[in-house]
Every structure is written in structure tokens, then in C-alpha cells.
Amino acid sequence: MEKIALKAKAAQIRMDLIRMIHTAKTGHTGGSLSNTDILTALYYRVMKIDSNNPKWEDRDRFIASKGHSVESLWCILADLGFFPVEELNTFSQFGTRLIGHPNNKVPGIEMNTGALGHGLAISVGMALAGKRDGKAYRVFCLMGDGEQAEGSVWEAAMAGSHYKLDNLVGIIDRNRLQISGSTEDVMGLEPLEEKWTSFGWNVVSIDGNDIEALVDVFESAPAIPNKPTLIMANTVKGKGVSFAENVAHWHHHVPSGEQLELALAELSAAIEGYKQEGQVR
């Protein structure tokens, strides 16, 4: 998909996920809105995947280590045909497979995640297996910034550089908030980029809600052979919905009917703007 169309696609996914959360009366609104641009760039442009053959051996792998914000991922997998779009109406209902965290009974999901701190170690194993099997696939692992407080992240970071996994791309959704407030108040992370650099990763810092920048950095990785890449994606939690942006409370908050309408109006206005931008270009 062209870069310009990706912006409108991300806004549409935000509309889908906020509707889904409203219907289910539960969901991680802030973190899903924050990572929608990252997932849209990966799923609609960067990753080699096939919804008709989700277990294709040469597919790129995506691990949602910040598994709680699965809503954007469910909406994208449905939109791409991994399962029927109508199934989104069952999100978080009793008996559904579309539960509140990634579930590998759903086509397109590699691993069950949600207990923070485990996704990078899994991704290291997949990337190492790819190297040993002579495969060209890449592994993308999305982590939260609050998640960086988990010690297991740093064991996996060490292993990623030790094994020279340049087929591995870690992404931190650096929205500066976690469940209960600012990451710096809960567990100070800074200097975070320097930490990753000192663990042997090639660190690239970008605006993580800028789809064009995301595509460029994903497509140019690995910029340094034999090093894993860490993308510091500086994002806004709640991005795209004015009243949810940068508000910690929206981590797990459900929009009222009125808030839903307002959010949908803002996002459809954004889509109109992107369409005009596309015509101008």
C-alpha cells in the first residue's frame, strides 16, 4: 500500500477499534491507539505475510509483546482477511477466541502474550532459528515503554546482540505512560536509548505516529549488519482521539456513546484530510 493510503487506513483501524471497545465495554484504548500507526505500517506495507496461508514458513513474524493493546491487531487481522470481520463483534465476550490479549488459536497470531516482558525473548528465539535455518524472514517485536521495567527484556536484549540477530527489529511504543501514570514516575527509564545502544543494538529514534517515517526505518533495517535494530517509536498514547491523548486514565477506559461519536467524527475528518492530501500530491 502507498504511504499516503496508509494514513487513512490507520484512521479507519482506529475507528474500528474504538467501536469494538465500545461494544465490548472493555479494552485497552490508549495503548491500541498509540500503536496503530506502527501496526499499519508493518501489516499493510512492510511485512511479508499471507492471510490465505498464515503459517507460511517464510513469513515475517510479529510478536505483540505489549499484548494488552491487542485491539488494533484484531482489527487489522480481520481487515486483512485472517478471520471474518463480523467476529470483531465477539471481542472479549464469553467463549470468543478474540480475547483481550493475543491468542494463538487465531490465524495470524504467533504466540500468546500479555504477561509483559516475554515477547522479546520469544522473538530472539525465532530470529535465531531463522538464521540457523538459512531463512530470510524478519522478526518484529513490539514492546511497551512501561514494559521496559521487566528484567527479562534485558536478558533478551543481551542475547539479541550476542547472536548478531540483524533479522530482529524491536520496537518500543514510547508513549511515556503506563497503566498508572508516567513511566518516569513509576520506574525511571532514561537514558533509555543509551541503554539499548550499550546492549549492542542499533537504535533509531523516530516519531512513532508518522507512518512515512516508520515505513522508511522498517524498510532500511538492518542499517548495520550483524546488529539487531531497536526503533524508539515516540508516540502519543490515545493518538487520534483528542480527549484520550496523553491521558493515563484512558489506558483501560471505555468511551461513552457520546465520546464514541466524537471520536468517530474526528477520525473521519482525518480520513477526509488524507484523501485531499493524496489528491494534492
Ligand X SMILES: Cc1ncc(C[n+]2csc(CCOP(=O)(O)OP(=O)(O)O)c2C)c(N)n1
Catalog residues that contact Mg ion under the rule CB under 5 A: 144-146, 175, 177-178
Query: Residue 50: enclosing H or E segment and its boundaries?
Result: none
Contact flag: residue 179 with ligand X (CB under 6 A): yes
- Which residues, other chains included, contact 87 with Cβ-Cβ below 8 Å and sequence gap of 6+? 78, 96, 97, 98
DSSP-derived secondary structure letter, 43: I
Nearer residue to ligand X within complex by CB, 148 or 167: 148
Query: Which residue in 117, 130, 160, 170 binds ligand X (CB under 6 A)?
Result: 117
Contact flag: residue 66 with ligand X (CB under 6 A): yes
Query: Which residue in 103, 175, 202, 209 binds ligand X (CB under 6 A)?
Result: 175
Interior angle at CA 74, CA 233 and CA 216, nearest 5: 30
Instruction: Tell the smallest beta-carbon distance from residue 112 to ligand X (Å).
Output: 12
Instruction: Tell the smallest beta-carbon distance from residue 277 to ligand X (Å).
Output: 28
Contact flag: residue 100 with ligand X (CB under 6 A): no
Closest-by-Cβ residue to ligand X is 144
What is the sign of the dihedral through the CA atoms of 68, 141, 242 and 178?
positive
Instruction: Tell the smallest beta-carbon distance from residue 124 to ligand X (Å).
Output: 18
Contact flag: residue 68 with ligand X (CB under 6 A): yes
Question: How many other CB atoms are there within 10 angstroms of residue 278's CB atom?
Answer: 14
Nearer residue to Mg ion within complex by CB, 169 or 233: 233
Nearest CA to 44 out of 4, 15, 84 is that of: 4
Contact flag: residue 71 with ligand X (CB under 6 A): no
Nearer residue to ligand X within complex by CB, 180 or 220: 180
Instruction: Tell the smallest beta-carbon distance from residue 153 to ligand X (Å).
Output: 10
Please state, in angstroms and as integers, the Cα–Cα distance from residue 242 to each residue in 109, 175, 194, 261, following that order: 31, 15, 32, 12
Question: How many other CB atoms are there within 10 angstroms of residue 203's CB atom?
Answer: 19
Nearer residue to ligand X within complex by CB, 101 or 135: 101
Residues 224-243 that bind ligand X (CB under 6 A): 237
Residue with cell 505483540: 64
9 in helix, strand or coil?
helix
Contact flag: residue 110 with ligand X (CB under 6 A): no
Q: What is the DSSP string of 83-111?
A: S-GGGGGGTTSTT-SS-SS--TTSTT--S
Choose the one of Mg ion, ligand X, none that binds residue 29, judging by a C-beta under 5 to 8 angstroms depending on kind: none
| 42, HSE (Cβ side, Cα atoms, 13 Å) | 27
**Of 119-127, 130-138, 144-152, 210-218, which part binds ligand X (CB under 6 A)?**
144-152
Instruction: Tell the smallest beta-carbon distance from residue 15 to Mg ion (Å).
Output: 22
Choose the one of Mg ion, ligand X, none that binds residue 116, judging by a C-beta under 5 to 8 angstroms depending on kind: ligand X
H helices of the chain, in order, are 3-24, 29-41, 71-79, 119-132, 151-162, 183-186, 192-198, 211-220, 257-280
**Of 9-17, 47-55, 145-153, 155-163, which part binds ligand X (CB under 6 A)?**
145-153
Contact 246, 237 (CB under 8 A): yes
Binding site for ligand X (CB under 6 A): 30-31, 34, 66, 68-69, 114-117, 144-147, 173, 175, 177-179, 237, 251
